[in-house]
Structure 1
Amino acid sequence: MTRQRRRAQTRALNNSTPLRLVFALICLSLASLMAHAALAQEKIIKSHGYSYFGELKYPADYPYFDYVNPDAPKGGEISIALSGTFDSMNPYSRKGKASALSTVMYESLLGEVLAGGGALPADADGELYGLLAESLEYPETKDWVIFYMRPEARFSDGTPVTAHDVLFSHNLLLDQGLKSYADAVRKRIPKAEVIDDHTIKFYFTEGISRRSLIDQVGTVPVWSQKWYEDTGARLDEGRLEVSPGSGPYLIDQIDVSRRATFRRNPDYWGWHLPINKGRHNFDRIRLEYFTDATTAFEAFKAGEVTFRTESDPKKWASFYDFPAIERGSVVREELPDGTPPAMTGIVFNLGSEAFKDKRVREAVALCFNFEWTNKSLLYGLNAQQRSFSTGTDLESKGLPAGDELEFLKSLGDIVPSALLTTEPLVPHTSDPDRLLTRKNLRLAKKLLDQAGWVTGDDGIRRNAQGKSLTLNFLFNSSGEPTDRAIGENFVSNLKTMGIDARFESVDSAQYTKRERDRDYDLVFDGYPSLMGTGTGLLQRFGSEAASYSLFNPAGLASPLVDAIINKSLLTSSQAEEDMTIRALDRVLRHEFFLIPTGYAPDHWVAYWDMYEHPEKQPPFALGALDFWWYNAEKAEALKASGALR
């Protein structure tokens, strides 16, 4: 518009517009100018990493993570035994059973999940550092985020990793990924756009919590758009062929249900990055699959596999006395585990008709004797989970008081009065010398009678309609023998109460399908520990996806749990967040949807004496496949002695 034309329009307005309209236009112009000024003054945060409250342990120029050995040698092989089967390398589909480590080839904008479990870095909870992205920026409001990618990043086929691949991967998970994930993300991330080949921006929905948004988009695995378009492959299908990744490992060899081998990529683009120093040290990672846990253990004893994380207390206490241990060829260690234990055990399917009555769940739980199980089957090595945050300051204790009490009261009528007047639920105690404790049996029978399940002349409990109380306990036949013994003894106690209980041991393929379809009343499963808030809590414990989420094996759906999680997502300080998590722990225990069966307080590991690890173990990961390394001299000594082939 020319200056003369603007002046003409101004004169026309002055001649024809009432004074009030002129004043209104002036006000609108001033408001617009003020809005632009506010945007200009809005603080934009630029960083090499991200945490919700903005605090990072490692500065922008960090050389490597504190717990790694930056001079760790590269080389060698580590092999691990697994029980069961696999027929796919795609873990993002409900079809097929994917091999372990089938995501190890892929990277994300901000760090990744460690191979073998845990988060990165392993010594700082809730922090992420740039990997495919060298930096990010976002406003204090966290309404959006921009990632600036490293232009040198390459897929293993040599093609560049671009912002177009990031956008493609984000959309692919929404269109073809797990429904519970896609439903949650669509509501929170309405738009993403590529700014240029190495810059991408994500926008977040107005009026919702900013929790788990930047870290959500920053940790999406990045796949090659070109490969998917060229092959026509889908994310929702089981398959062995996979897209090229940008990570330090490649698939080397796949033998379905027998072996999966991964090799370190010497041409990996990111070896120079500080996030990778002292990590990814093995030339090969080999996974060996066996039909059952007993065969897998025998393979370790024979040196066919070389590293083992032990989960069975019975084995740890009494099976590690074979010749290789006695002559020092195998090392046995207990390493500290700084994470609160997961809440694992016997999970109730809350969709089962009988379990909709909490009294039935309580009665069934009274038939599990942790003390006897720990003494008789687990050599006293397990500890009992009290809460979803056992042993941390997030564990709810005593009567609700102070801020937590006020918080619970603010939620209104959905809070049961008992929550405000009773201490958090803790596991019952039992006689360690008797499989079935009589006082617990009497209480359990009373609860079942109150729930309308009365004992008939044949000793079987039935309801008013004459239907027997029938429960099936689903078990994977490739599981640990000790777990089988725990389940069978528990079912024996259930039968003593007149419950028609059945222990169903099925093969791995059938177990996977039935578990996904929730075709069980009881199953060994669990939930991760509570370490903080995030939208992932809604996938684990929320009502919206409860009927189909693979992450919620009980099918928990509670308006009170939903309300606490949603309030927790809106907290503005660490203290406030911690208070809501303690309240959540209290309520989850009140909902009573699993029977905790205990946990090992440390990492139990055994390995052939050719591996080494940092002297100081980081608190949040064992990291054997990530930051341990191979000692070639020790390996040669084992071979020279005939201990290993």
Structure 2
Amino acid sequence: MLSLRTTLGHCSAVLLLSLASIVQAAPQHALTLYGEAPKYPADFKHFDYVNPDAPKGGTLRQAGFGGFDSLNPFINKGVSADDLGLMYDTLTTHSLDEPFSEYGLVAEKIEKAPDNSWVRFFLRKEARFNDGQPLTAEDVKFTFETLMEKGAPMYKGYYADVDKVEIEGPHQVRFVFKHAGNRELPLIVGQLPVLPKHYWADKDFARGNLDIPVGSGPYKISEVQAGRSIVYERVKDYWGKDLAVNRGFYNFDKMRIDYYRDNTVALEAMKAGQFDFWLETSAKNWATAYNNSAVANGQLIKEEIRNYNPTGMQGFIFNIRRPLFKDPRVREALGLLFDFEWANKQLFNGAYTRTDSYFDNSELAAKGLPSPAELKLLEPLREQIPPKVFTDEFINPVTDASGMIRDHQRRAYQLLQEAGWRVVDDKMVDAQGNPVSFEFLLAQTEFERVLLPFKRNLADLGIELVIRRVDVSQYINRLRSRDFDMIVGGFGQSNSPGNEQREYWHSSSADNPGSRNFIGLKDPAIDSLVEGLIKADSRENLINYTRALDRVLLWGHYVIPNWHITTWRVAYWHKLEHPQVTPQYDIGLNTWWVREVTTPPEDAETQAPATPATGAEQ
């Protein structure tokens, strides 16, 4: 039996701990990953990368690719229109000049448990949907439960550690987590878009259609032509227009997207003045396609904007669900037959750098051999991961750009022989004696010129590559059903990787239609590193886990790495203007505006009509 003094001492300790928790869990205007102070204080007036006095008005015209048949971006059915996120406000919004900080949007204040076992949002009482109905905690709970039950499978992975949502009042809601310690999850939950419960009450959320939905964001849909175009109109009485996080944003009265089935046609339409802004992903086009008088006289502006984001990994992705690609020696051999140096010289005007990491252009990328801190994470997995993780730095094969790759072909053939492949009657056959032929699924015409030299190099070893180009709708459906051998794709990264890594590499996402685990990874060692990364308790620990994961992915040869640049290449008509300070981690297009144009375009080329064809080399 405890003495009275012991009991009182115990109660005092509990009280002190409770008070400490209250202090640590005080409501904040912003959340950061490791509890560090956010860049912007509670009374900030606007972000540094906006023009707070930017004029409102005008129309921003852009191009879309392919087409669309749905206005519901939250489900896997159909192809949704671009930029539907403009219709929906989220609980919080992230700043574009910090690696990962979330500021209150629908939520005025945010409170989280000291051990990150829950997060609470205090909603702004003035928040409302664009039909005038108030936005409440009921809508937040409805949104979460609907996305988990009927939304795209990615949501189940993204919010897998959320146990329940509790309504604590009309404007107060708490998310309780299954496990404590996930520092990122409170910030991830803050990114939840809020859908109107009253609007969806008598509708089937899981059915894709072109019914115009109700949102609470700065824009609403004013015009839809199925598969051809969509027009967003700025909500003049938008409830959040005066918030500090929105000041200087959303300056266009209208935003119009016309769809093209061919990017070459779209580029010509852009140069003819049919739309205003173009993010150029082709080095060849950037070097040669803008030699016209509109550029020369400053009417059409070419600009490179520095990009401080990790470049992520774009590559030719193997679907290792296919027996043909199960053996890592086969994947390594096929990678040897892609001649980047020749492609960069002959096709890209020398504009690119080969991507050597899944987190290139950042401190997260693995370099050299593993550090002692990385080895501490990798040693328990030694029997499950490629031995070269411990002994060699991953370096992509390099050629002399002549187009002659005999040394690489010899090494590739040696690896294929080790995997049981052999040449019979000038045709490569696999370990089972089947002729080797596989399909590369494409939706972009521009990439064919990159693949044709690769196809020739494969043919030299008796391997047949079939390039199959399909329309966007079919392409998306085949990706969702994992009906492909190889694709070109990307795994985008931020400076604070976290829960999205489950979507990319974790066993739990491999069989989810619509997840980004295109490779088909089901590897316990990779799962362990992903979980460790997500639960990292410091920036230093996050970096070590990320570098360790990077090494294991690289030495698994799951993709043939492509290339990258560290700028955004944009072309835009002189009617547009952007702030002098650009955000580090985004183009910030929603901070741009239409300036007063005093001199109309005179070049005949800018007046030529162009009709969208309804329906990226990087």
Could you tell me the TM-score, scaled by structure 2's length? 0.93
The verdict on how the C-alpha distance between 1:304 and 1:180 changes in structure 2, with shifts beyond 3 A counting, is closer
Provide the residue aligned with 2:555 in structure 1: 590
Q: Deviations over 1:338-360 (max 9, x none)?
A: 11212002111111111100111
Work out whether 1:341 is the aligned partner of 2:341.
Answer: no
Counterpart-to-counterpart distance in 2, 1:460 and 1:616: 58
The verdict on how the C-alpha distance between 1:640 and 1:264 changes in structure 2, with shifts beyond 3 A counting, is farther
Residue number among 122, 142, 145 corresponding to 2:119 in the alignment: 145
Provide the residue aligned with 2:53 in structure 1: 71
Percentage of pairs with the same residue: 34
Work out whether 1:519 is the aligned partner of 2:483.
Answer: yes
Equivalent positions of 1:282-301 (< 5 A) are 282-301=252-271
Per-residue deviation, 1:80:
1.1
The verdict on how the C-alpha distance between 1:391 and 1:216 changes in structure 2, with shifts beyond 3 A counting, is closer
The verdict on how the C-alpha distance between 1:587 and 1:532 changes in structure 2, with shifts beyond 3 A counting, is farther
Contact 2:116–2:181 (8 Å) recurs in 1: no
Contact 1:209–1:569 (8 Å) recurs in 2: no
Residue number among 43, 48, 51 corresponding to 2:32 in the alignment: 51
Provide the residue aligned with 2:167 in structure 1: 194
Provide the residue aligned with 1:39 in structure 2: 18
The verdict on how the C-alpha distance between 1:285 and 1:346 changes in structure 2, with shifts beyond 3 A counting, is same
Counterpart-to-counterpart distance in 2, 1:388 and 1:254: 38
Per-residue deviation, 1:416:
4.0
Between 176-185 and 353-362, the greater mean CA deviation after superposition: 176-185
Counterpart-to-counterpart distance in 2, 1:554 and 1:237: 28
Counterpart-to-counterpart distance in 1, 2:464 and 2:571: 41
Contact 2:284–2:349 (8 Å) recurs in 1: yes
Provide the residue aligned with 2:576 in structure 1: 611
Provide the residue aligned with 1:99 in structure 2: 81
Counterpart-to-counterpart distance in 2, 1:321 and 1:640: 16
The verdict on how the C-alpha distance between 1:180 and 1:215 changes in structure 2, with shifts beyond 3 A counting, is same
Amino acid in the other structure paired with 2:32: S
Per-residue deviation, 1:139:
2.6
Between 177-186 and 100-109, the greater mean CA deviation after superposition: 177-186
Between 594-603 and 214-223, the greater mean CA deviation after superposition: 594-603
Counterpart-to-counterpart distance in 2, 1:504 and 1:301: 30
Contact 2:365–2:550 (8 Å) recurs in 1: yes
Residue number among 494, 497, 506 corresponding to 2:470 in the alignment: 506
Amino acid in the other structure paired with 1:53: Y
Q: Deviations over 1:419-461 (max 9, x none)?
A: 22222x2211123121x4111111111111111111101x111
Equivalent positions of 1:380-395 (< 5 A) are 380-395=350-365
Per-residue deviation, 1:140:
1.5
Look up the SS of the partner of 2:412 in the other structure. helix
Look up the SS of the partner of 1:47 in the other structure. coil
Per-residue deviation, 1:277:
0.7
Per-residue deviation, 1:25:
11
Provide the residue aligned with 2:65 in structure 1: 83
Provide the residue aligned with 1:451 in structure 2: 419
Contact 1:546–1:557 (8 Å) recurs in 2: yes
Contact 1:474–1:511 (8 Å) recurs in 2: yes
Residue number among 455, 462, 465 corresponding to 2:432 in the alignment: 465
Contact 2:333–2:411 (8 Å) recurs in 1: yes
Amino acid in the other structure paired with 2:200: Y
Contact 2:88–2:216 (8 Å) recurs in 1: yes
Q: Deviations over 1:132-157 (max 9, x none)?
A: 01101123112222111110011110
The verdict on how the C-alpha distance between 1:182 and 1:218 changes in structure 2, with shifts beyond 3 A counting, is same
Provide the residue aligned with 2:239 in structure 1: 269
Q: Deviations over 1:20-56 (max 9, x none)?
A: 6xx6999889867754553244232321010121220
Work out whether 1:204 is the aligned partner of 2:177.
Answer: yes
Look up the SS of the partner of 1:545 in the other structure. helix
Look up the SS of the partner of 2:86 in the other structure. coil
Contact 2:280–2:569 (8 Å) recurs in 1: yes
Look up the SS of the partner of 2:285 in the other structure. helix
Work out whether 1:226 is the aligned partner of 2:198.
Answer: yes
Counterpart-to-counterpart distance in 2, 1:222 and 1:538: 23
Amino acid in the other structure paired with 1:460: K
Per-residue deviation, 1:413:
3.4
Contact 1:387–1:426 (8 Å) recurs in 2: no
Per-residue deviation, 1:366:
1.1
Provide the residue aligned with 2:283 in structure 1: 313
The verdict on how the C-alpha distance between 1:287 and 1:352 changes in structure 2, with shifts beyond 3 A counting, is same
Work out whether 1:494 is the aligned partner of 2:458.
Answer: yes
The verdict on how the C-alpha distance between 1:159 and 1:209 changes in structure 2, with shifts beyond 3 A counting, is same
Look up the SS of the partner of 1:576 in the other structure. helix
Work out whether 1:155 is the aligned partner of 2:137.
Answer: no
Q: Deviations over 1:58-97 (max 9, x none)?
A: 0000110011111111111111112211111112222111
Per-residue deviation, 1:262:
0.6
Contact 1:470–1:501 (8 Å) recurs in 2: yes
Provide the residue aligned with 2:293 in structure 1: 323
Amino acid in the other structure paired with 1:498: G
Amino acid in the other structure paired with 1:233: D
Q: Deviations over 1:367-394 (max 9, x none)?
A: 1110111111111111211112223222
Counterpart-to-counterpart distance in 2, 1:606 and 1:571: 40
Counterpart-to-counterpart distance in 1, 2:78 and 2:458: 34
Counterpart-to-counterpart distance in 2, 1:466 and 1:67: 60
Report how many aligned residue pairs link the two structures: 603
Counterpart-to-counterpart distance in 1, 2:562 and 2:314: 7
| Contiguous gaps of at least 5 residues in structure 1 | 1-19, 112-119
Per-residue deviation, 1:464:
4.4
Q: Deviations over 1:604-642 (max 9, x none)?
A: 111111111112222100112x1111102x2x5226888
Work out whether 1:60 is the aligned partner of 2:47.
Answer: no
Work out whether 1:538 is the aligned partner of 2:517.
Answer: no
Counterpart-to-counterpart distance in 2, 1:28 and 1:499: 78
Counterpart-to-counterpart distance in 2, 1:438 and 1:397: 28
Residue number among 379, 399, 403 corresponding to 1:430 in the alignment: 399
Counterpart-to-counterpart distance in 2, 1:52 and 1:183: 20
Counterpart-to-counterpart distance in 1, 2:292 and 2:534: 51
Contact 1:369–1:431 (8 Å) recurs in 2: no
Counterpart-to-counterpart distance in 1, 2:290 and 2:364: 36
Per-residue deviation, 1:104:
1.5
Look up the SS of the partner of 1:606 in the other structure. strand
Provide the residue aligned with 1:16 in structure 2: none
Amino acid in the other structure paired with 1:51: T
Equivalent positions of 1:88-127 (< 5 A) are 88-111=70-93, 120-127=94-101
Look up the SS of the partner of 2:245 in the other structure. helix
Counterpart-to-counterpart distance in 2, 1:46 and 1:562: 34
Provide the residue aligned with 1:442 in structure 2: 410
Counterpart-to-counterpart distance in 2, 1:447 and 1:411: 25
RMSD: 2.1
Residue number among 472, 475, 489 corresponding to 2:442 in the alignment: 475
Which has the higher Rg, Structure 1 or Structure 2? 1
Look up the SS of the partner of 2:89 in the other structure. coil
Residue number among 407, 412, 423 corresponding to 2:377 in the alignment: 407
Counterpart-to-counterpart distance in 1, 2:166 and 2:434: 57
Contact 1:382–1:601 (8 Å) recurs in 2: no
Contact 2:57–2:253 (8 Å) recurs in 1: yes
Contact 1:332–1:605 (8 Å) recurs in 2: yes
